[in-house]
Each structure stands twice: as structure tokens, then as C-alpha cells.
Structure 1
Amino acid sequence: MFSVHRSSYKYWRCRPKCVSPELVKLKSLIKEVHMASNGSAGARSIADMVTTQGIKLTRYRASKIMKLLGLVSCQTPHHRYRKASQEHVEIPNHLSRQFAVTSPNQVWEGDVSLSR
């Protein structure tokens, strides 16, 4: 059809791809910025951080390179203490830590303070 041999086309397809030094530099910079943010920076914030360093980078290209490098933004959830609707009642200690019983089934004791 195009007077190109099939084997030549296959060799051309399997040839090693030349990697641009700019892309290598950009990949290392994106990885460095992602590590500096403790893995919490996404494509938009990485694009902003790299752009402030003087290299123009869009969020779409940052997203593509992050996928190539296997970088994912992970946000740690914040722990919030729940406020009680009413004050807890203080339960009296009837045993006063005197567990010396003379026969079975006189005193039953248990701890449920950590059950949810």
C-alpha cells in the first residue's frame, strides 16, 4: 500500500522512544512537590506550586504526569469529637474496690466504658 515492508513497520513500532530531558525534569519536580506536601497535593495544587517555581504547567498535564508516576492525592480525615446532647450522669461506686466475696453470685462486676 505505502511501499513499506511489514518488518520495517514492526521494527519502527518497537523502537525505544526518546525521552525529552524537559519531561524528565518535570517528572522529578512533580514527584518532589508531591512528597513535600506529604501526598496531599492534587493536580491543581501541584500545577500551582510548579508554576510559582517558574515552569509553566497546567492542571491537565500535571494530572497526566501524576497518572504516569502513580501519584494519588490522599487527604487525611479530621477527627471531630462529638458533643453530647446532655451531661453524663456520674454512676456511684458501690463496691469501692472491695472484691473479697465469700460465696459465688454475691457480686457481679463488669466494664463497659469502651463499648460503642
Structure 2
Amino acid sequence: MVCSAFGIARSSYYEHRRSRFRIDVERLEQRAKVNALFTQSRSSAGSRTIMTQMQDEDYEIGRFRVRRLMSEVNLTCKQPVPHTYKQATVERPDIPNCLNREFDV
């Protein structure tokens, strides 16, 4: 009754129910490869980088598929931040100001 209400064949409904329990071997291989490439890059590779690496190894895969696989494994790209140097905000009273620090920039 529900299938006829939505205009779907009963065989399609039962095929979909059966397909939920099938294991997609190709997807598991791709997920393992994405995870391996991500760990090789020390968590710095994003979906575009992993996509090009997999395409170099003769995988037919797109960026959005790689992004979906990364989200399934909970992989997040972490780019290293450049080193930040501390700025001296307070003048040190224990160091004498011999030059008066009157410099022209």
C-alpha cells in the first residue's frame, strides 16, 4: 500500500532492503586507501590532495567521494600553522634605554 502511494514498484522496495545489508568491498578498499594516505601525510592532506594521489595510483575517484570517505572515518585536515614570535608589549625597567629608541622607520 505504501509503495503504490509513492508510485514505487514493490520489487524496488525489497531490493533496497536487501542492499542495505550488503558489504561494498570497493568502498571499504577506498576508505582504507584514504585512511592510509591521510596518515602518511601526518593529517595534513585534504580531499583534493588525496584525490590526486589516488588518481595517480589509477583509482577513478572524485573529490566529493573522497570527502565523504574522509567524513565516514572522521578524518579532519589539520594544516600546520607558522611559528609566531612574541611581541614585547611592556618595556623592561631592568634594561636601561641607552639609545632612547628614537628610530625612523
* TM-score bracket for the superposition, by shorter chain length: 0.5 to 0.7
1:49 to 34, 49, 53: 53
> Displacement of 1:57 after TM fit?
1.3
Gaps of 5+ in 2: 5-9, 97-105
Q: SS where residue 76 of structure 1 aligns?
A: coil
Unaligned runs of 5+ in 1: 93-116
Equivalent in 37, 45, 48 of residue 33 of structure 1:
37
Distance across 2 between alignment mates of 1:53 and 1:69: 21
Q: CA deviation at 1:80?
A: 3.6
The verdict on how the C-alpha distance between 1:56 and 1:16 changes in structure 2, with shifts beyond 3 A counting, is closer
The one-letter code sitting in structure 1 at the alignment partner of 2:48 is: R
Give, in whole Å, the separation in 2 of the partners of 1:63 and 1:38: 17
Q: Which residue of 2 is the match for residue 111 of structure 1?
A: none
Per the normalisation by structure 2, the TM-score is 0.64
Residues 63, 15 of structure 1: alpha-carbon distance in 2 compared, 3 angstrom cutoff: closer
Cα distance between partner residues in 2 of 1:73 and 1:40? 5
- Hey, what's the Cα distance between the residues in 1 that align with 2:50 and 2:21? 27
- Answer yes or no: is 1:63 the counterpart of 2:67: yes
Give the percent of matched residue pairs that are identical in Structure 1 and Structure 2: 25
The number of residue pairs the alignment matches comes to 84
Higher relative contact order (CA 8 A, sep 6+): 2
RMSD between aligned residues: 2.9
User: What is the aligned partner in structure 2 of residue 103 from structure 1?
Assistant: none
**Distance in 1 (alpha carbons) for counterparts of 2:19 and 2:44:** 37
Q: Which AA in structure 1 matches 2:51? A: A
